[in-house]
């Protein structure tokens, strides 16, 4: 067999990112395993941990950010790093299913996610959040995390909360729906081919 082992075959990645605003070390494996997230923002940890657990991938992510300023840089950069990890782990995206959708409820809240692992970054996120923040995470930064992730991963994401009353429930349901859709979309189809009429997803 002449194939060489590559990042797409391994489906894992790691990186370190350091700026004047954040310092992040992270690793990811697109297979179930340990999830350990420490960003300094409790609700962000909760959302990213839920994304990894229900998405069926292992994740270690530690971030130290300028929280004395506010939560924006930490939230944004964690989304960017997670997107970079997924893009690297997927490689040329050969053998994946590519498209998927999922619903997830959390008590009174219901969310829907539709994704295309297309190589074309786009995010439409409507979470219908009413509060200024959940814990120490500003609600305006929650969809921004998703958009940052989608941009760097090269994924099209349509994510919306259909209805709900509690902002914690709405945000968590959305991340669970996204997790379930991603898990299905990057699952291996068994064909080994790039799932595109163009022959490439980049």
End-to-end CA distance of the chain: 26
Query: For 160-195, how does the pLDDT look when each residue is reduced to its tens digit (9 = 90+)?
Result: 999 999 999 999 999 999 999 999 999 998 776 565
User: What is the structure's pLDDT at 189?
Assistant: 80
Which candidate, 120, 119, 101, 107, places its Cα nearest to that of 160?
101
pLDDT tens digit at each of 202 positions of the chain: 333 333 345 899 999 999 999 999 999 999 999 999 999 999 999 999 999 999 999 999 999 999 999 999 999 999 999 999 999 999 988 889 999 999 999 999 999 999 999 999 999 999 999 999 999 999 999 999 999 999 999 999 999 999 999 999 999 999 999 999 999 999 998 776 565 545 555 6
Rounded to two decimals, the pTM is: 0.91
Q: How far is CA 182 from CA 73, 124, 135, 165, in A?
A: 25, 15, 26, 25
Q: Alpha helix (H) ranges present in 21-166?
A: 42-55, 72-90, 141-153
Domain 7-185, architecture per CATH: 2-Layer Sandwich (3.30)
User: What is the structure's pLDDT at 8?
Assistant: 45
Which candidate, 65, 101, 66, 84, places its Cα nearest to that of 13?
84
């Amino acid at each position: 067999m002449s194939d060489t082992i590559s990042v797409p075959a391994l489906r894992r990645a790691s990186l370190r990112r350091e700026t004047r605003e954040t310092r992040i070390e992270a690793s990811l494996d697109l297979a179930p395993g340990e999830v350990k997230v420490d960003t300094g923002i409790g609700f962000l940890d909760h959302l990213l941990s839920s994304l990894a657990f229900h998405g069926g991938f292992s994740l270690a992510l530690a971030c130290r950010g300028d929280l004395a300023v506010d939560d924006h840089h930490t939230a944004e950069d964690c989304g960017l790093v997670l997107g970079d990890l997924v893009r690297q782990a997927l490689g040329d995206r050969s053998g994946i299913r590519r498209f998927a959708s999922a619903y997830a409820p959390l008590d009174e809240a219901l969310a829907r996610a539709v994704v295309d692992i297309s190589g074309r970054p786009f995010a439409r996120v409507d979470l219908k959040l009413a509060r200024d923040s959940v814990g120490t995470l500003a609600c305006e930064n929650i969809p921004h995390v998703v958009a940052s992730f989608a941009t760097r991963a090269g994924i099209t994401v349509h994510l919306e909360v259909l209805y709900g009353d509690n902002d914690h429930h709405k945000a968590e349901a959305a991340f669970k729906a996204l997790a379930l859709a991603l898990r299905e979309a990057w699952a291996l189809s068994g064909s080994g081919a790039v799932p595109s009429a163009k022959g490439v997803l980049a």
